[in-house]
Structure 1
Amino acid sequence: MSVQQEQDRVMELLGMYLDEHLVLRWLHIIAMAYWLGGEWGVFNAARNIARPDLPLDERLRHMETAYRIDILARTGIILLLPLGLHMGNNLGVQPLGGPWLVGMWIFVAGWLSLTLTAFFQRGSDLGILLTKLDEAIRYFVIPALFITGVYSLVTGGPFTAHWYAAKATLFSGLLIIGLILRFVMRDWVTDFRKLVSGGPNAAIEQKMASAMAFSRKLAYFYWAGIITMAFLGTVKPI
């Protein structure tokens, strides 16, 4: 192969990389937008869920709205994992590529399918079971991200860029907050089923009001963390 042919081949491969990376970046931006915007939508839709002065049917409609908005945020969160790892490999800041990345995409496809099925089965016993399985996956993903991120910040590897390691560590913390908020949403289903079948219940109403007040405070940290994560990925200050 001549020098010119080698140069042409390099340019061709570079063009393929740039095209792929730009598409991944585009998808990453969309996922982040749905995550941040979706959480804001859920926050506002949920304001009337814990109001005992409203008719039960109206509160249920607000809960349905919150769930329909939340599924976009959940989808964005899950997709950020393989998108971020794939882009990190393209940029050379994390070494896990090739078959490992393919396996990650397959794993996430299964995870996302589980989440979507739980959404469509919401309100049923099967939906609650699938939601718990969705949550259980996070029990493995969160520690893996946190340990790898902190280890990379301290030692410089395997995430070789500090901004990338910090972003992964922060992402694991935000997943914890998201998990707590999803516990609240799962409990809504159980609590409303009890209200529908058993009528007014002061203890359940108090439980929902307390959970809602706690979730609102937690949401502010959630939004701040998402914005910070976007800043780290865009500006790369460290």
Structure 2
Amino acid sequence: MMLTPHIFLLFAHLLLFVYWLGSDIGVFYGIRYVLDPSRSLEARRTAMAIVHWIDLLPRLCLVLMVPVGLSLAANLGLLDLGGASLDILLALAWILGLLWLLAVVRLYGGVTGWLVKLDWVVRLSVASGFLLAGAASFVGVGPVAQGASWLALKMIFFACAIFCGIGLRLLGKPFGRALTAILDGRGTDETEAQLGEAMRQSKRIVLLLWAFVLAAAFVGVAKIG
């Protein structure tokens, strides 16, 4: 078997899916130790340090899914765009994707300010773009080639997963404040209650996010549609 660009793209696509979902499950499980008030403050801090670094993986995987996924679709001839337009799209996807990746790493390192707002804009734009492209392809005016409506459906599921992530970020603001107070040794029964309530609300969105990711993966394998 010859090693072709398609094989490397497919391998990367599979790895990104595995590490995205796998590390996300690890974060969700690990955060339960952080939220457990019966554990010592030091144990909760240690658990949070581990969760913090694991949580970087799904963020990176999401970003890389965009250029890798588009490149794989183009390699399979599933994007109905002209040669020049397709080349420009892929070039922009990789250049902007790598810049976004760098921004995510910097944000994770504690950088704030305008970069935070830019990240919000990019996430909303990417999610909206995939949602519109997928929906338009179902009525024959989108970028997906005829006979590959499963890819349009996969785009929609991917967009919904990103929107779920945005929802988690909105819920994460009070969660973050309460968690910081607890890990700094300033926790009270009230902050513990706030943390527990934020976690219960987040759980529904997390499960929905996983469902969309799994649905996108299943559609991609089964070629439904």
TM-score with structure 1 length normalisation? 0.81
Unaligned runs of 5+ in 1: 1-14
In the alignment, which residue of structure 2 is the partner of 1:138? 123
Match 1:166 to one of 149, 153, 173:
153
Match in the other structure for 1:101? 90
**Residue 190 (structure 2) aligns with:** 203
TM-score calculated relative to the size of structure 2? 0.86
Identity of matched residues, %: 28
- Work out the number of aligned pairs and report it: 218
CA apart distance, 1:128: 7.8
2:215 corresponding residue in structure 1: 228
Q: Which runs of 5+ in 2 are unaligned?
A: none
Please say if 1:178 is aligned against 2:173: no
SS of corresponding position for 1:139: helix
* Alignment-mate amino acid for residue 71 of structure 2: H
Based on CA coordinates, which of the two structures has the bigger radius of gyration?
Answer: 1
CA RMSD of superposed structures (Å): 2.3
Look up the SS of the partner of 1:200 in the other structure.
coil
- Aligned counterparts of 1:79 and 1:156: Cα–Cα separation in 2: 26
Q: Is the 8 A contact 2:167 2:205 kept in 1?
A: no
Partner in structure 2 of residue 56 of structure 1: 41
TM-fit CA distance, 1:198: 7.2
* 2:224 pairs with 1:237: yes
| Deviation for aligned residue 1:185 | 4.9
For 2:108, the equivalent position in structure 1 comes to 119
Taking the TM superposition and a 5 Å limit, the aligned residue runs for 1:2-151 are 19-94=4-79, 95=81, 96-121=85-110, 126-127=111-112, 130-131=115-116, 133-151=118-136
Runs of 4+ in 1 over 6 A off after TM superposition: none
Residues in 1 aligned to 2:114 and 2:44: alpha-carbon distance in whole angstroms: 23
Tell me the equivalent position of 1:216: 203
In structure 2, how many angstroms separate the alpha carbons of the residues matched to 1:210 and 1:165? 36
State the one-letter code of the partner of 1:62: A
In the TM superposition, what is the alpha-carbon distance from 1:156 to its structure 2 partner? 5.1
Contact 2:161 2:210 in 1 (8 A): no
CA pair 60-222 structure 1, distance change in 2 beyond 3 A: same
Residues 57-66 or 111-120, more deviating: 57-66
Task: Give, in whole Å, the separation in 2 of the partners of 1:196 and 1:237.
Answer: 47
